[in-house]
């Protein structure tokens, strides 16, 4: 079996794989509504969010659709968002704002740079009119876990600006303080830390924020969260959902709960990642960041001198491991390793053995 060390899709557990084979369903029948409601409830349970205050909206699409739904559905027509960039996905939030003509300002950083809190405070002070701050939690471009605690404190200090969080590669494995951080919405996906299959995404939003958007005209037909939320609260769905991927997500969320929730998953990922970091260190392969700045989900490493990514990738693939390239300008200098999915610590040890064979020949 190939071990996927890319940041999703992940190696599935047998339990989740079998769930894909459950009976065919019509999305207008009660059985589907039960499935959808189960997912919505279980999504809130991951971070123990009360249903009176929060709602999980689930729909068909990849992580980007959740980002796009969040940005288009939570920022009112007269709103303005400050987008913090320090990687591909922060920049993608800006692309979405541009495409939909959403009023925005950008706090740009180079990929991987730590978010400059002084500059952020300056922007928050200067732009008193801001309705939201949008930021990526775990910037998968480099593995940096952005310091949302510090960002949220500044947002609170300046007009209590709510946060739109891209939690696509952190939801279910990193701490997300929905209340403390004054989150208006968090976008995420089934096929990363939730351990289900690609095809289903979701946004968890504050009900009050959703309610306020009812008065604003929709910017999009298919990704409008107000439409989804009204339909799903009334035991319906506006469009045909990807039923088999819903089955998988429902099972994966049960499995997450049975296995000890996001806290246990975070610990498990770190146990795996520590094997990778320590093993690569012994081979003189350096991580991009110290552990304190990294997510447990994915870490980036410098390519050893004289070894191209393609050669490393192909040799590892032949040995049964799929790794991930650096993006854009980082393609020739970095490779990335993710610890998600139904893999084991001994898989990570075997991976290090294979790395040793490649590096030492
Ligand atoms: C932080 C983050 N946001 C958004 C996305 C986009 O997700 P997708 O490729 O599923 O559309 C990714 C994908 O890796 C991601 O890591």
Ligand 1 mean position to 165 CA, how many Å? 12
121-144 per-residue burial string, b: 16 or more CB within 10 A, e: under 16 = eebbeeeeebbbbbbbbbbbbbbb
pLDDT tens, residue by residue, 100-110:
999 999 999 99
Mean pLDDT for all residues in the chain = 97
DSSP string, 190-223: TTSTT---TTEEEEEEEHHHHHHHTTSPPS-STT
pLDDT tens, residue by residue, 108-146:
999 999 999 999 999 999 999 999 999 999 999 999 999
Ligand 1, CB cutoff 6 Å, lining residues = 7, 62-64, 67, 89, 136, 140, 166, 168-169, 189
Share of the chain above pLDDT 90, in %: 96
Hey, is 301 helix, strand or coil?
Answer: strand
**Domain range list for the chain:** 14-258, 260-359
Ligand 1 mean position to 110 CA, how many Å? 18
User: For ligand 1, atom 9, which residue shows the shortest CA distance?
Assistant: 63
Q: Give the model's pLDDT for residue 215.
A: 84
User: Do residues 82 and 133 touch, judged by C-beta distance below 8 A?
Assistant: yes
Answering whether pTM is above 0.75, one says: yes
Indicate the pLDDT class of residue 1, thresholds 50, 70 and 90. confident
pLDDT tens, residue by residue, 255-278:
999 999 999 999 999 999 999 999
Residues 6+ apart with CB under 8 A from 45: 253, 257
Ligand 1 mean position to 57 CA, how many Å? 18
SS3 content of the chain, % helix, strand, coil (to 5): 40, 15, 40
Indicate the pLDDT class of residue 71, thresholds 50, 70 and 90. very high
The continuous run of DSSP H or E covering 105 comes out as strand 104-108
In this structure, of 31-35, 258-262, 327-331, the range with the lowest mean pLDDT score is: 327-331
User: Do residues 186 and 176 touch, judged by C-beta distance below 8 A?
Assistant: yes
Please state which CATH number belongs to domain 260-359.
Answer: 3.90.1150.10
What class does CATH assign to 14-258? alpha beta
Say how many C-beta atoms besides its own lie within 10 A of residue 37's C-beta: 16
221 class by beta-carbon count within 10 Å (0-12 exposed, 13-18 middle, 19+ buried): exposed
Rounded mean pLDDT, 141-169: 98
């Amino acid at each position: 079996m190939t071990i996927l060390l890319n940041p999703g899709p992940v190696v599935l557990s047998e339990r989740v794989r079998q769930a894909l084979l459950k009976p065919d369903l019509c999305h207008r029948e009660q059985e589907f509504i039960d499935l959808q409601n189960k997912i919505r409830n279980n999504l809130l349970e991951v971070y123990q969010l009360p249903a009176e205050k929060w709602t999980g909206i689930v729909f068909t699409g990849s992580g980007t659709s959740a980002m796009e739904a969040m940005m288009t559905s939570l920022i009112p027509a007269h709103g303005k968002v400050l987008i913090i960039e320090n990687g591909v996905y922060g920049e993608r939030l800006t692309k979405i704002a541009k495409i939909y003509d959403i009023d925005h300002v950008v706090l740009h950083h180079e990929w991987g740079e730590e978010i400059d809190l002084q500059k952020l405070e300056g922007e928050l002070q200067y732009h008193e009119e801001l309705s939201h701050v949008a930021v990526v939690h775990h910037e998968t471009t480099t593995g940096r876990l952005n310091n949302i605690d510090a960002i949220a404190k500044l947002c609170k200090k300046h007009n209590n600006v709510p946060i739109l969080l891209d939690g696509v590669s952190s939801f279910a494995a990193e701490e997300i303080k929905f209340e403390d951080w004054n989150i208006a919405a968090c976008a995420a996906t089934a096929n990363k830390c939730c351990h289900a299959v690609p095809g289903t995404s979701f946004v968890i939003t504050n009900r009050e924020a959703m309610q306020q958007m009812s008065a604003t005209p929709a910017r999009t037909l298919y990704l409008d969260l107000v439409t989804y939320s009204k339909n799903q609260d009334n035991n319906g769905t506006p469009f045909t959902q990807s039923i088999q991927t819903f089955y998988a997500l429902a099972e994966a969320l049960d499995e997450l709960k049975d296995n000890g929730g996001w806290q246990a998953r975070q610990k498990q990922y770190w146990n795996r990642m520590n094997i990778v970091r320590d093993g690569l260190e012994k081979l003189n392969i350096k991580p991009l960041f110290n552990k304190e700045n990294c997510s447990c989900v994915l870490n980036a490493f410098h390519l050893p001198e004289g070894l191209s990514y393609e050669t490393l990738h192909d040799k590892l693939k032949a040995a049964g491991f799929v790794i991930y390239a650096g993006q854009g300008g980082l393609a020739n200098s970095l490779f990335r390793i993710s610890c998600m999915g139904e893999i084991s610590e001994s898989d990570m040890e075997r991976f290090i053995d294979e790395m040793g064979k490649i590096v030492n020949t």
